Amino acid sequence: MPEKIIIFDTTLRDGEQSPGASLNIAEKVEIARQLARLKVDVIEAGFPVSSPAQFEAVQRIAGEVPAIIAGLARAKEGDIKAAYQALKEAPRKRIHTFSSTSDYHILGKFGSSRYGQTLAEKRKTVIQMSIDAVQYARTLCDDVEFSAEDAGRTDIGYLAEVIEAAIEAGATTVNIPDTTGYTLPDEFAEKIRQLKKRVKNIERAVISVHCHNDLGLAVANSLAAVQAGARQVECTVNGIGERAGNASLEEFVMALNVRKDILPFYTAINTREIYNASRMVSTFTGFTVQPNKAIVGKNAFAHESGIHQDGVLKDRNTYEIMKPEDVGVSSSKIVLGRHSGRHGLKARLQELGYRLSEEKLDQVYKLFVKLADKKKEVYDEDLRSLMGEEVYSEKPAYLLDYLHVFLGTSAIPTATVRLKKDDRILEESATGDGPVDAVFNAIDRALHTHFEVTDYQVRSVTSGRDALGEVFVRIQNGLGEAHGRGHSTDIIEASGKAYLQAINNILKQRDTVSLEKKSSA
Ligand SMILES: [Zn+2]
């Protein structure tokens, strides 16, 4: 009988910790809904104590999304309390607490004498902290996960001691993270086997693994661990996460599916929602999926060479181990146009994983009609891009009302912008090294501000000369850091919209609505 593997998705916690990935609350809720449609068992929604925005995101997801919702907490009472408060509304909730167990971490993090002078004393303190944390979490919640951070590099004898103590204290899931992505598959599997042998009460908890991809082995290590006895795998959509990322959900799940002949396991995942999830996470984070990425890359099912194409046409099995439809990549191109109507748009957006209120649908429909006027044929990718920019930016403080750019090979690029905020109009001009720089400078001038641009990407959403251009920009200064997206068939305009959306996002984080008052004060 095949055994079930619990899929614990941490796209919204570890994935969101990727350098530069910050998502706003509305984006997180939308991703969580898609994860529920994908049928992941557990959604780790965030680290509530770390910021008010994290707390609110976890709280909203807990109240709205049907799955087990987990919140992360260090082994501290305040963290655990905050996690519980944020999770309270969830019908099924999990507190996830952790301690660092490798010598590297213990010596690095617990230098102070409070933890004892010798390594042995420090190790003892870590065990006691873990016990206290799990016991306290259990007073609030029946479902408690304990992680031994950097377990991959933790001495097996000590790791077994920590895990046994955590289970004794009430942990229902024990997670063995390869935090630094250091282990090799055989070695990691052996670690799981050893734990099963050495930890007396191991049958009372589910063994989980959480593998990082620093050596490109996160999925391989997760599969090896499952074969050795792990029954929960922590992973992220598109494999995003700290540094080189986490085990990729889609790769792990499809490996189990495609090789069920030798892997007697299954998951609850609805694989046909994989592609929608991948595109949504990519649009919201601004992390483009590499074309050759397994399962969800643009070329994952493309056959270029003549011999391959010929083979696939005669019999798909010659070069395909899975069908694109299995992961939700549709072979037929659905095209909408100006006459598709509101209903057609709504139906298509639903198929792509977006649920809209009637009010939001009105907004999107207006944008859609504008786009269809310029572009005639509107593809799925155009719709995803549209959703990325407009729908989740909530009510913007400033709008780009008018833009004029003057440029030429022997002229200094000059931009004039007119921004609107309620009834107020702000107009300014500025020059720049190029037209985009000029637009950014003009916006800065109009708002009496200046931001450093830390990331700027422009891509064409579909192919063809009239393709929609999508711009992703990340900015920062003393006020904060945020990203914005803009789209238009004109990439200069898209850049201006993206920059302004990023500024609006910073204002939103700071709960202010205006920049000008601040700078004049
Ligand atoms: Zn991690």
Q: How far is the CA of 101 from the centre of ligand 1 (A)?
A: 14
Which of 242, 351, 295 is closest to 11 using CA atoms?
242
User: Interior CA angle at 187 toward 145 and 121, to 5°?
Assistant: 55
Q: So what's the pLDDT on residue 18?
A: 81
**3-state secondary structure string across 129-152:** HHHHHHHHHHHHCCCEEEEEECHH
Q: How far apart are CA 500 and CA 163, in angstroms?
A: 49
pLDDT on residue 511: 63
Rounded to whole angstroms, the Cα distance separating 429 from 290 reads 38
Helix (H) or strand (E) holding 218: helix 218-228
pLDDT band at 517 (very low <50, low <70, confident <90, very high): very low
For ligand 1, the distance from its centroid to the CA atom of residue 237, given in whole angstroms, is 13
Gap from CA of 210 to ligand 1 centroid (Å) = 7
Question: What is residue 389's DSSP assignment?
Answer: I
Beta strands at 68-74 and 42-46: parallel, antiparallel or unpaired: parallel
What is the rounded average pLDDT of the residues 430-436? 95
Residue 323 CA, ligand 1 centroid: distance in Å: 31
Q: Which residues surround ligand 1, an ion (CB under 5 A)?
A: 14
Task: Find the 242 Cα to ligand 1 centroid distance in Å.
Answer: 6
Q: Whole-angstrom Cα distance, residue 514 to residue 521? A: 12
DSSP 390: I
| Separation of CA 294 and ligand 1 centre (Å) | 21
pLDDT of 519: 38
* Cα–ligand 1 centroid distance for 180 (angstroms): 8
Is residue 450 predicted with pLDDT exceeding 70?
yes
Query: How confident is the model at residue 381, as a pLDDT?
Result: 85
Cα 86 to averaged position of ligand 1 atoms, centre (Å): 21
DSSP 251: H
Å from CA of 408 to ligand 1 middle: 49
Residue 18 Cα, ligand 1 centroid: separation in angstroms?
Answer: 10
Helix axes 274-285, 25-38, angle to 10 degrees: 170
Residue, of 378 and 254, whose pLDDT is higher: 254
Which structure tokens are listed for 48? 């509530």
Mean pLDDT, the chain, whole residue set: 90
User: Distance from the CA of 442 to the center of ligand 1, in angstroms?
Assistant: 41
Q: Which residue has the higher pLDDT, 7 or 284?
A: 7
348-367 residue pLDDT tens: 998 888 888 888 888 889 88
- Indicate the DSSP class of residue 288: P
Distance in Å, CA 216 to ligand 1 centroid: 14
**C-alpha 212 to ligand 1 mean position (Å):** 6
pLDDT of residue 239: 98
CA–CA gap between residue 54 and residue 458 (Å, rounded): 29
Span from the CA of 246 to the centroid of ligand 1 (angstroms): 7
CA 321–ligand 1 middle distance (angstroms): 30
CA 436 / ligand 1 centre spacing (Å) = 37
Q: In this prediction, what percent of the chain has a pLDDT beyond 90?
A: 63
Instruction: Kindly give the distance from the C-alpha atom of residue 236 to the centroid of ligand 1, in angstroms, as a whole number.
Output: 10
155 confidence band (pLDDT: 50, 70, 90): very high
The answer to whether the beta carbons of residues 378 and 333 sit under 8 Å apart is no
Find the range with the poorest average confidence among 130-144, 153-167, 189-203, 394-408. Answer: 394-408
Q: How confident is the model at residue 494 (pLDDT cuts 50, 70, 90)?
A: very high
For residue 96, how many other CB atoms are within 10 A of its CB? 27
Ligand 1 centre distance from Cα of residue 176 (Å) = 11
- pLDDT, residue 304, reads 64
> How many residues appear in the chain?
521
* Side-chain-facing half-sphere of 227: CA atoms under 13 Å: 19
Please give the distance, rounded to the nearest whole angstrom, from the Cα atom of residue 84 to the centre of ligand 1: 21
What does the pLDDT look like over 286-325, one tens digit per residue? 888 999 999 999 888 876 666 766 776 777 777 778 999 9
- d(CA 268, ligand 1 centre) in Å: 23
